[in-house]
Structure 1
Amino acid sequence: MSQDTIAVSDGSGLEVREGFNAALVSLATLFSGAAEPNPTYAYMLWADETDGLLKQRTSDNQSWIMVGTLDKTNWGLAPGGFGLGGLTQRLANNAGLDVRTSGFFSAYTTANGALPLDNYCFIPMPINAINTAILAIRVSTCDLYVASQAGGVWSAWRKI
């Protein structure tokens, strides 16, 4: 937890180095603390330990907006893997990336063994903490496929 300023004052070499180190700790910990950091900057992140929320400063630097909950996976906004759960293990593109690290992307896959071998754009749609749907758009034909997860169990892909 650190809320040191990121504006480092002039001083001796040691004082400046200590100032930079303190500023880096503040950045690395998202200015975490029970009180609002001072000074604030537009788009600044703050881990508010009083409310347990991650907050971001508005573009006009006038107020904070809530980004998510600190102690929740993905800040409580969506299930892990962009709402795909374990299915992301099967959705890898030719570069070895997956939906967890690259979001919406085109992948060459036969996920769950039910999609025709081709390139797809995947659109995950988290419904709640345990239920998810995903659309797969086949790039070559624009065919749409859907799979859903209920309570951690994925359905087979269905063409729609």
Structure 2
Amino acid sequence: MRKWRSAVVTAAWVAVGTAAGALGAWQLAGSDAEGGDAAHSRPLDEAAVRRALARASNAPADTGSPSTAAGSPKPSSPPAAERSTVRFTGGSATVECRADGTVRLISWSPADGFHIDDDVERGPAAVVRLEAEPGDDDEQEDLPYEIHCTPEGPRAKVVQDTDDD
């Protein structure tokens, strides 16, 4: 009788665990559905981010005023800036290449083993600057970068270190 009881308890625990796993998988699958409000279980690539931003910017704003009615002329706006990510040895940066030829640093992230110095020149300007510094390796040089926009997109290049420290 004891073996039979142990087998039933084990089978019940296995059934409950399986049901919980299936429910969790079902909820995760539902959260990744296109247009879902739940957090994604995986990071978005750059194309997916652009699609989500385009959907968000095209959403009609309900202000209740007659000026938002269909057929109303929309105010003209300057051409949108192009956001791109540029990767370099010390990390990566998201920049905005603007129609006037300037660049603006939106965000940055260091690569493993580096940190980005606090002396960041964000722009908008012809070039933006940041410096990737190795974490624990005193023998490795700091990597100062200038980022500028070209017709092919943003480019980062290492420049001579102008720091005096």
Q: Same fold (TM over 0.5)?
A: no
Given the two structures, how large is their TM-score scaled by the length of structure 2? 0.31
Q: Which one has the bigger helix percentage?
A: 2
Given the two structures, how large is their TM-score scaled by the length of structure 1? 0.32
For the pair shown, which has the larger CA radius of gyration, 1 or 2?
2
